[in-house]
Structure 1
């Protein structure tokens, strides 16, 4: 069985030939944005990747049949989806899909449940876990020093003993 997964969002047009910058939200852009891959927009439009390149740290794509800047500008802001097998696992050790993390309980170092992961934000410097704690959202850098235990089967992540990590600043 497959599930629909968000892999990115279309950013601004780049150049005059229909290239667009992509805000990547997948840890495996080489798999999700390869030439020939079909991506689905939030409005249902299907786009086939014609070319892929990196420029200045940004992923640029062009799509089959869309070779004009004006046409692709209308796609700005569209989320991009792919269908993946529900059983598919990330290619690297200690890597996780967002869908595996969202909904996990967040425990403090003593094992007490403090909140739930509601979202994973992929930023240039690092990934962040967005944790709902008592009706408020907290951001936790998703690095091994702060999140030493990720137990997908057990349904939780455990945070390191760092004072103030889930508290008001």
Structure 2
């Protein structure tokens, strides 16, 4: 099983180093020298990793120069994990742990988590609500409860979050229409 751990940004310098946007709470573990990552169809070995200017700069043994590094811009990096593994932080979850969970709002079951979209600044849950695909920002304010053992997540009761028609009606009500 693979989990997303980063996305390759711009090349750094001329020796094949890359800026990596971190998508894991375990960067020291995932980008430790000698560890392997999946980068598209290939596996890369971390040669070194360091923080520079608020970014993680990583060199891979298989990427010898800037030209090779530039070809990887935008590529998602993944780590291979045992499906039974869980993150060390109890507030972190792997995608496969979330997919299939019931989505509750209050006491009602309103949908099912069908996936996770990894965006540059936050993750977003993909939820099936009565056959419609709805995107819910995966932030504590909107998803305050994640109960893997119980098989559900709780989504805040915010007008329009799960039903776009509700958002339009709420906006009309605020505008005095």
TM-score bracket, shorter-length normalisation: 0.7 to 0.9
Q: Name the residue aligned to 1:30.
A: 28
Residue 122 of structure 1 deviates from its aligned partner by 4.8
Provide the rounded CA distance (Å) in 1 between the counterparts of 2:93 and 2:106.
21
Provide the rounded CA distance (Å) in 1 between the counterparts of 2:123 and 2:71.
29
Provide the rounded CA distance (Å) in 2 between the counterparts of 1:141 and 1:154.
21
| Structure of higher RCO (CA pairs closer than 8 Å, 6+ residues apart) | 1
5+ long unaligned stretches in structure 2 = 168-177
Query: When the two structures are superposed, what TM-score results if normalisation uses the length of structure 2?
Result: 0.78
Residue 49 of structure 2 corresponds to residue 52 of structure 1: yes
Residues 121, 130 of structure 1: 8 Å contact kept? no
> Comparing both structures, which one devotes a greater share of its residues to helix?
2
Residue 18 of structure 1 deviates from its aligned partner by 0.8
Provide the rounded CA distance (Å) in 2 between the counterparts of 1:132 and 1:29.
31
Provide the rounded CA distance (Å) in 1 between the counterparts of 2:153 and 2:18.
36
Provide the rounded CA distance (Å) in 1 between the counterparts of 2:162 and 2:150.
21
Say which of 11, 14, 25 aligns to 1:13.
11
Query: When the two structures are superposed, what TM-score results if normalisation uses the length of structure 1?
Result: 0.81
Residue 19 of structure 1 deviates from its aligned partner by 0.8
Residue 74 of structure 2 corresponds to residue 88 of structure 1: no
Provide the rounded CA distance (Å) in 2 between the counterparts of 1:29 and 1:154.
29
Q: Deviations over 1:67-90 (max 9, x none)?
A: 310122222333323221222111
Aligned length: 165
Residue 124 of structure 2 corresponds to residue 128 of structure 1: yes
Deviates more, 1:25-34 or 1:113-122: 113-122
The structure having more radius of gyration, on CA atoms, is: 2
Residue 123 of structure 1 deviates from its aligned partner by 4.0
Provide the rounded CA distance (Å) in 1 between the counterparts of 2:9 and 2:45.
17
Runs of 4+ in structure 1 off by over 6 angstroms are none
Q: Name the residue aligned to 1:101.
A: 98
Residue 47 of structure 1 deviates from its aligned partner by 1.3
Residue 109 of structure 1 deviates from its aligned partner by 1.2
Provide the rounded CA distance (Å) in 2 between the counterparts of 1:22 and 1:68.
16
